[in-house]
Amino acid sequence: LNYHMTKFVLSAPDIRHLPPDTGVEIAFAGRSNAGKSSALNTLTGQKSLARTSKTPGRTQLINLFEVADNCRLVDLPGYGYAEVPEEVKRKWQKSLSEYLQKRDSLKGIVILMDIRHPLKELDQNMIKWAVDAELSVLVLLTKSDKLASGALKQQLSKVRDSLKSMNADIQVEVFSSTKKVGVELVKNKLNHWFNV
């Protein structure tokens, strides 16, 4: 697939506003500031496909993009904003679990975590929900350029070991939008999930 052909389709407040549930969807999730927008922009070769400046607490939306016919990428709202009201958090959690459980076309999820602050509680919840929903999961440790190679390797094995101890058979890789690390690997993984 040519990810540079990706186009914005729509923003939806919940699953009832999504397009027909056909083809394959792959979602991107992560704590706010994990580098999700940058990763989506890097993968699609577009400067501002996923806006990199987002206002926390605004209407929480699922942003949907189309790479090709029946191949969609979904940008889920960043989680972990401290200043979002409880009520909004609860609503979002409900929409999210509904999306993960009921969306038939949802095949896989890419969960992004800053390599310096991985596996926070919300990340672990996200991974559990994805596994429970029987989705394929790829974990990306982002901003890998921030660590020297020794520290990077250490952090990578730490996360891999933690996930193994959670009984989750999940692929973990490093990624950097700045240094273009992991870009081809992610595209190959997405192609595989898209079945192209």
Residues lying near ligand GDP in the complex (CB under 6 A): 30, 32-38, 52, 78, 142-143, 145-146, 176-178
Residue 133 CB-density burial (10 A; 0-12 exposed, 13-18 middle, 19+ buried): middle
> Cβ closer to ligand GDP: 37 or 60?
37
Instruction: Tell the smallest beta-carbon distance from residue 33 to ligand GDP (Å).
Output: 5
Instruction: Tell the smallest beta-carbon distance from residue 162 to ligand GDP (Å).
Output: 21
> Cβ closer to ligand GDP: 6 or 142?
142
Answer whether 193's CB lies under 8 Å from 107's CB: yes
> Cβ closer to ligand GDP: 93 or 178?
178
> Cβ closer to ligand GDP: 31 or 72?
31
Q: Tell which residue, 109, 100, 96, 99, has the closest CA to residue 168.
A: 109
Instruction: Tell the smallest beta-carbon distance from residue 164 to ligand GDP (Å).
Output: 26
Q: How far apart are CA 77 and CA 11, in angstroms?
A: 11
Instruction: Tell the smallest beta-carbon distance from residue 43 to ligand GDP (Å).
Output: 12
Q: What is the DSSP annotation of 46-101?
A: -SSSS-S---TTSPP-EEEEEEETTEEEEEPPPB--TTS-HHHHHHHHHHHHHHHH
DSSP state, residue 13 = S
